[in-house]
Structure 1
Amino acid sequence: MVEITGDQRVQSEVLEGLATAVNHRRWFVELAIPYLGDNPIEIGSGLGDYALEWAPHFERFTATEADPDRLVALKERLADHPKIEVRQMLLPHSERGDYSAAVSYNVLEHIEDHVDALRSMRDLVRPGGAIVLIVPAFQFAMSPADIATGHVRRYTKKTMAAALTEAGLQIEKLHYANALGLIGYFMATSVFRLMPKEGPMVKIYDSLVLPVTKAAEQVVRPPFGQSVFAVARVPD
């Protein structure tokens, strides 16, 4: 079992606050859909916001959570969605699976042995299936907010590629996302020492800045971003 560091209460408060960033979430939902196949599993579903967005696109969808308290809340929230199976998932594990893909957003940065965690995700997915990830980018943006929510690292494309390759995965897509978000996050959390919770800053960014950023990045991939988006394949 991997210990996820940080204050679980603070993590839950941040998750609840960021749930209001609807445009941001839908952008990242769209990024993953082409790679998820017919029966994906999400690693680290949190409060279920992404699961609820993804599930309508598939006949079956599995949501997972490691934290027992959030698992209970997740099961309660998704109880009326019969297409979604909810289960506990701890990394690393020795389980083998036949899922079409594993998707995990903003989870890997919490885990000390991230390569072993990636191997565990790989073992859940059938050959040729995808591992789809989003992780926070750039170590200089590591802030008190990161530490409070249990982040042990932030990534670049290079360090993400190294971890995927060491885990025995074949990289298909790797790029930064949300360039303006990195600037805003650094100013808010490192300069002004704020937590990324619900409030006017999140709403203004999500409604006004995010759509412009998304449109621009669909034309030109930025050289930096708040997140790294990665797709890797399980070897045949």
Structure 2
Amino acid sequence: MPNPDAAILGDQAIQSEVLEGLAMAVNHRKWFVAFATPYLGDHPIEVSAGLGDYAAEWLQHTEKMSLTEADSGRIVALKERFSDHPGVSVRELLLPSEVNGDHSAAISYNVLEHIDDDIGGLRTMKSLVRPGGYIINVVPAFPFAMGPADIATGHVRRYTKKTMRAAMNAADIEIVKLHYANSLGLIGYYVSTCLLKQMPGPGPIVKFYDSTVAPMTRLMEKAFNPPFGQSVIAIGRRPLNG
């Protein structure tokens, strides 16, 4: 009989590999950091901060930031990493939850696709920010790219602009910007994970992508918003009367 605990541990190991791969992708991270930077305000909160790599970049633009995680081990790691930064607080948070806050922005990168009740997750994020505050999400795009790597890392869906717009509308979040990003990354991801059945993680493929593909794609997409991409970038705002 299969051991479900072994499966869970396997998924956690794959998720850790993915996070390590993302940590290596410095150019990619700086590119995606920039999507949220203009909306941070005086006290943003990051939902599911992972290893804290994005937070470390945003802290160059804001003195105060709250970080949350659902995983107890990552909470400990985040507290250790930012122990010398007096403006950082770390706490546990699961989505969806009944919480309230007065943050200037709530940010989640690659989180909603893990949650069955993604509309409830968006409502939680909206409740964490003050009226007029921003809700920034990055989610993986296009259901056709759902493959073994998505399943292994706990994805329950991938989005399009249409489905992300519908989720934001259902959560009563005003849409500020909604677009695709990383068009060449989607092609590479589909070939490597869906056709070749590879798992993302640290290694030469990530190094090549980050040194060559990501900078080229970022430069190209400065000129125009692509009709497809590996990610949907969703910038929303809590209504002033909501």
Equivalent pair of 2:17/2:200 in contact (CA under 8 Å): no
Kindly provide the CA deviation profile for residues 185-231 of structure 1, in whole angstroms up to 9, marking residues without a partner as x. 00110111111111111111111111110011011110000000000
Alignment of 1:45-194 (within 5 A): 45-194=49-198
AA paired with 1:21?
A
Measured after TM superposition, the shift of residue 40 of structure 1 is 0.3
Other structure's SS at 2:223 match: coil
**Partner SS for 2:55:** helix
Distance in 1, Cα, partners of 2:214 & 2:52: 22
Percent identity, please.
Answer: 63
Conserved 8 A contact 2:26-2:210: yes
AA aligned to 1:197 is G
Tell me the secondary structure at the aligned position of residue 7 of structure 1.
helix
Q: 1:36 offset after TM fit, Å?
A: 1.5
The alignment partner of 1:129 has SS state of: strand
Q: Aligned partners of 1:45, 1:91: CA distance in 2, in Å?
A: 13
Give the deviation of 1:9 after TM superposition.
2.4
Structure-1-length-normalised TM-score: 0.96
Structure 1: runs of 5 or more not aligned: none
Q: Output the CA distance in 1 between the equivalents of 2:99 and 2:60.
A: 26
1:216 and 2:220 correspond: yes
Q: Give the TM-score of the pair, scaled to structure 2.
A: 0.93
How much does 1:81 deviate?
2.1
Q: How many angstroms apart in 2 are the aligned matches of 1:21 and 1:167?
A: 32
Q: Tell me, what secondary structure is at the counterpart of 1:197?
A: coil
SS in 1 for 2:89: strand
Work out the CA distance in 1 between the residues paired with 2:35 and 2:174: 18
CA contact (8 A) 1:18 1:196 kept: no
Q: 1:234 aligned to 2:234?
A: no
How far apart, CA to CA, are the structure 2 residues paired with 1:14 and 1:82? 29
Using the TM superposition, give the Cα deviation of residue 134 of structure 1 relative to its aligned residue in structure 2, in angstroms.
0.3
Give the corresponding residue for 1:42. Answer: 46
Q: CA RMSD in A?
A: 1.1
Letter in 2 for 1:24: H
- How far does residue 80 in structure 1 lie from its aligned partner after superposition? 2.2
Unaligned runs of 5+ in 2: 1-7
| Corresponding position: 1:32 with 2:36 | yes
Alignment partner of 1:235: what SS?
coil
Q: Which residue among 192, 195, 198 is the counterpart of 2:199?
A: 195
Counting matched residue pairs gives 232
